[in-house]
Amino acid sequence: MRDGFGRQITYLRLSITDRCDFRCRYCMPEHGVPKLPREAILSVEECVAAVRAAAACGVTKVRITGGEPLVRRGVLDICAGIRAIPEIRELCLTTNGSRLAELAGPLRQAGVDRLNVSLDTLRPDRFAALTRGGRLQDVLDGIAAAEAAGFPLKLNAVLLGGVNDDEIPALAALTWEKPWQVRFIELMPMGPCAAWPAARFVPAEAVLRACPELQPDGFGGVAERYRFPGAPGSVGLIRPLSHRFCGSCDRLRLTADGKLKPCLHSGAEIPVRGLQGAALEAAVAAAVAAKPAAHHLASGSESGRDMNEIGG
Ligand code: SAM
Ligand code: SF4
């Protein structure tokens, strides 16, 4: 299905929970956010039905996210239900990795094709401070389990000036060892970090300055790809603040409480709860039609929600 600007919409990002076992400083307030009551969250069946309706409208790729999707009971049933929809050719999941050691194998069996694991630092003390209590070793064990289960992996690091930018070379160097893509993401001014000082917001060029050996290697989705000559893995730069990718944006989002969002940064929300069949497909079509030409993130997100609610 095409939107009003001729863009083909083929990608749905599905948030299956607003809850999380970490409290990353840029994403969540210290004491978390008021939890949605369980009945406000889409059930397993509602999640699968929404994806089925999206598939009928042309969606072929789904990414499951959160909050932390692996703290949601039913995550494996949601994955298996989506996998059974013939039009869905690619099923991916983004996780903080804390529960991946036990869940990587079952996720593979449930039909997940690829995983993105968030990893902002390789230093245990820094990791605990940044996530407010997370254990780096759990995530490293999870990454090892995901590798053993046969997942292609992308690691996501948000660039945080004065916090982890000194680790750019160490994070990028992982691609010398492994066929992973290590992606550096510019911090978006949303939620708790909207009021952070300018020095925390590091442009992606900092990666190229820190690793001058990197060579351009085309584009992969929203990432500009680079590679150390001869390395098995690649380095990705993601610049959400630039409008570079709005012109080819192919995505819709569905929040854990059942609202379709035409853009991460738009305030428009189309509810899907209680809808079935043709009415559900009409809601998806309405969300596609409501996609804006571009976001206005430079003047602040108009989303009205934090990242943990929408899923990044
Ligand atoms: N909990 C999972 C995780 O951390 O991977 C999935 C949800 S999380 C909201 C998805 C991604 O959004 C993570 O890689 C996180 O680092 C990123 N993120 C959160 N807040 C952000 C912000 N303000 N700017 C850029 N990326 C952000
Ligand atoms: Fe949780 Fe992911 Fe947000 Fe960190 S970035 S608080 S892991 S939802």
Across 44-58, 116-130, 171-185, 249-263, least confident range = 249-263
Return the DSSP state at 247: G
* Average pLDDT value over all residues in the chain: 92
> Which residue minimizes the CA distance to atom 4 of ligand 2?
24
State how far the Cα of 206 lies from the Cα of 212, in Å rounded to an integer: 10
The answer to whether residue 72 scores a pLDDT higher than 80 is: yes
What pLDDT is attached to residue 247?
80
Distance 6 CA to ligand 2 centre (A): 33
For residue 96, give the ligand 2 atom closest to its CA.
7
pLDDT, position 309: 65
28-32, 77-81, 86-90, 92-96 — which is least confidently predicted? 28-32
Is residue 128 scored above 90 in pLDDT? yes
> Tokens standing for 102?
């036990």
Residues with CB under 6 A from ligand 1: 20, 26-27, 65-66, 68, 94-96, 118, 156, 158, 185, 187-188, 190, 193, 307-308, 311-312
Distance 230 CA to ligand 2 centre (A): 33
pLDDT for position 305: 66
Distance, in Å, from the CA atom of 221 to the CA atom of 203, rounded to the nearest integer, reads 19
Q: What's the whole-number mean pLDDT along residues 169-198?
A: 95
φ, ψ at 70 (rounded to 5°): -80, -5
How many A from CA of 297 to the centre of ligand 1? 16
Instruction: Quote the ligand 1 centre to 187 CA distance (angstroms).
Output: 9
Question: Residue of the nearest CA to atom 4 in ligand 1?
Answer: 96
Task: Taking residues 154-173, report their average pLDDT.
Answer: 98
Q: What is the pTM of this model?
A: 0.94
Instruction: Kindly list the protein residues whose Cβ atom lies closer than 6 A to any atom of ligand 2.
Output: 20, 22-24, 27-28, 66-68, 96, 118, 307-308
Atom of ligand 1 nearest to the CA of 310: 9
pLDDT band for position 306 (cuts 50, 70, 90): low
pLDDT at 142 over 70: yes
Beta strand ranges found along 100-169 (DSSP E): 114-118, 153-159
Taking 80 as the threshold, does the pLDDT of residue 312 lie above it?
Answer: no
Q: What is the mean pLDDT of residues 235-243?
A: 84
Residue 63 has pLDDT above 90, yes or no: yes
Smallest CA separation from ligand 1 atom 26, residue: 187
User: What percent of the chain has a predicted confidence (pLDDT) above 90?
Assistant: 77
Ligand 2 pocket test target in 26, 68, 130, 183 with most atoms within 8 Å of CB: 68
Average pLDDT over residues 45-64: 97
Round to whole Å and give the CA distance between 263 and 291. 6
Residue nearest to atom 17 of ligand 1 (CA): 312
pLDDT number for residue 275 = 95
Short-list 71, 145, 148, CA closest to 101: 145
Ligand 1, residue 27: give the atom nearest the CA: 20
In the predicted model, is pLDDT for residue 310 greater than 80? no
299 by DSSP, 3-state: which?
Answer: helix
* Residue 300, pLDDT above cutoff 80: no
Give the integer Cα–Cα distance in Å for 248 and 250. Answer: 6
